[in-house]
Amino acid sequence: MNRTEQFYNLAREQYAELGVDTEQALRRLDATALSLHAWQGDDVAGFEGVEHALTGGCQVTGNYPGRARTSAELRADLDRALTLLPGRHRVNLQGHEVDRMLPGQDRDSLTLENFSDWLDWAADRKLGLDIAPAYYSHPKLDHGLSLSHPDAGIRRFWIDHGRAIRRIGAAFGRRLGTPAVCNVWAPDGFKDTPADRLAPRQRLLESLDATFAEKFPENELLDAVESKLFGIGAESCTVGSHDFYLTYAARRNKLICLDSGHFHPTESIADKISAICCQQGRILLHVSRGVRWDSDHVLVLNDELLGIARETVACNTADQIHIALDYFDASINRVAAWVIGTRNLQKALLIGLLEPTRSIQAREAEWDFSGRLAEQEAAKALPWGAVWEYYCMSRGVPGDAGFMAEIRAYEKSVLAQRD
Ligand code: RNT
Ligand code: ZN
């Protein structure tokens, strides 16, 4: 028996004394598929073969060598990252990360043919695929507006783009046997104080209803709508605010996408999860890390992430929470960004799964808030790291001390050859 197994057995005993079954926790972690955001690998640039400036507030900073320039390169990088993550996951695409564009084609006329290599790749690996329309970085994002633009022709273009992506997502769901989550996030907003906040929101509402008019069974497609507080160039008003989309999602039975980088810096989304789930709401999480104005830093194991993971474990009783990652950092190795961030999210979920919740809730039920606080704080010192390292080893992936060597080797042999 090696040291990892020895440490795990001791940890397992300690948790068992607290009524926590570590094997059950690991089985639940195995069953928690995370949707990996492909766009960390191409800096949200897409592969349309035309140079669209990065607009809509998706600011990617850094120029670390080795960015994926084609969907094939992006799949190679994702393959590498996935081999360093325990469990089986999903991959999340943007609507411009196409395999190819056909002559004369634009985003409003995309079909499955534009993503056929992605679908074959996912099917070969038994991965789920999610997808999102790309309402940004395109000339038709005009004066910062897409679905809420006053020109009906521009709105029609973006409505057709969203309708096309939903059809593609439903085709993913049919072939892969797991519904594609199709997340609508439109960057529409105003840099300075708008003269009219109502009309753009009325137009967004109509455009969304037109986008979602075509019905698909929920075993093929799940629609989500994502709110945002502000973006670069949309500091004064975001048309699709949280108030707008939470209402829309409840009225139209859509998933509400909570991006943890999209709220006031002191506002955590952890407390929103139970408030939505207790009303049969369904949630798409975009787990990210906001740092000052940037909503998209690589995840670190901090209190915000621990809180989101704990609440997700506590509320996800009927798989109504879909967990995706969403950040982009071009200042470090992009495969390392995927692996470090995703493993941190898995650690946070494991810590939530290993919490001696029954005992802590019993203290609360007895109004023993002193005991509750003592046990909550004591839980932080439990040996979750020994369970994590055993989880990695037993699922055939390197532990925390081992994965960077494999990423550095990949950088030397593949990424460094690209520029
Ligand atoms: C933008 C939103 C959105 C994007 C992706 C690329 O701030 O978070 O989810 O990150 O569409
Ligand atoms: Zn997001």
- Residue 108 is among the residues annotated as catalytic for this protein: no
Spatial contact of 90 and 35, defined as CB atoms under 8 Å apart? yes
Give the side-chain half-sphere CA count within 13 A for 88: 9
Ligand 1 atom with the smallest distance to the CA of 257 is: 9
Architecture of 32-354 per CATH? Alpha-Beta Barrel (3.20)
- Note the pLDDT of residue 358: 96
Q: Is 329's C-beta closer than 6 angstroms to any atom of ligand 1? A: no
| Helix intervals (H) in 34-126 | 71-82, 116-125
Answer whether 397's CB lies under 8 Å from 86's CB: yes
Q: Parallel, antiparallel, or unpaired: how do β-strands 289-291 and 294-297 relate? A: antiparallel
For a substitution probing ligand 1, which of 181, 226, 296 has the most ligand atoms within 8 Å of its CB?
A: 226
| Residues 226 and 185 sit within 8 Å (Cβ to Cβ) | yes
Question: What distance in Å separates the CA atoms of residue 210 and residue 226, rounded to the nearest whole number?
Answer: 17
- Annotated active-site residue 228? The verdict is yes
The structure's pTM equals 0.98
pLDDT digits (tens, 9 = 90+) for 307-319: 999 999 999 988 8
Establish whether 406 is a catalytic residue: no
| Tokens read off for 305 | 């992430």
pLDDT above 90 (res 272): yes
The CB of 312 under 6 Å from ligand 1? The reply is no
State whether the beta carbon of 131 lies less than 6 angstroms from ligand 1: no
On whether the CB atoms of residues 334 and 40 are closer than 8 A, the answer is yes
3-class DSSP assignment, residue 256: strand
Rg (CA), the chain: 22
Q: 159-211 pLDDT, tens per residue? A: 999 999 999 999 999 999 999 999 999 999 999 999 999 999 999 999 999 99
Active site residue 319: no
Q: How far is the CA of 257 from the centre of ligand 2 (A)?
A: 8
Is the C-beta atom of 287 inside 6 A of ligand 1? no
Identify which has the larger pLDDT, 16 or 318.
16
**Beta strands 189-190; 255-259: pairing state:** unpaired
Q: Where are the domains of the chain?
A: 32-354
- 79 a catalytic residue: no
338 is catalytic: no
Query: β-strand 237-238 against 180-184: which pairing, if any?
Result: unpaired
What pLDDT does 52 receive? 84
The C-alpha atoms of residue 202 and residue 162 are separated, in whole angstroms, by: 18
For the chain, what is the mean pLDDT?
97
- Which atom of ligand 1 is closest in space to residue 187's alpha carbon? 1
Residue range 204-224, pLDDT digits in tens: 999 999 999 999 999 999 999
**CA 170 – ligand 1 centroid, Å:** 21
pLDDT, tens digit (0-9, with 9 covering 90-100), for 38-90: 999 999 999 999 888 889 988 899 999 999 999 999 999 999 999 999 999 99
Nearest ligand, CA 240 = 1
- Chain-centroid distance of CA 76 in Å reads 20
pLDDT for the residue 261: 95
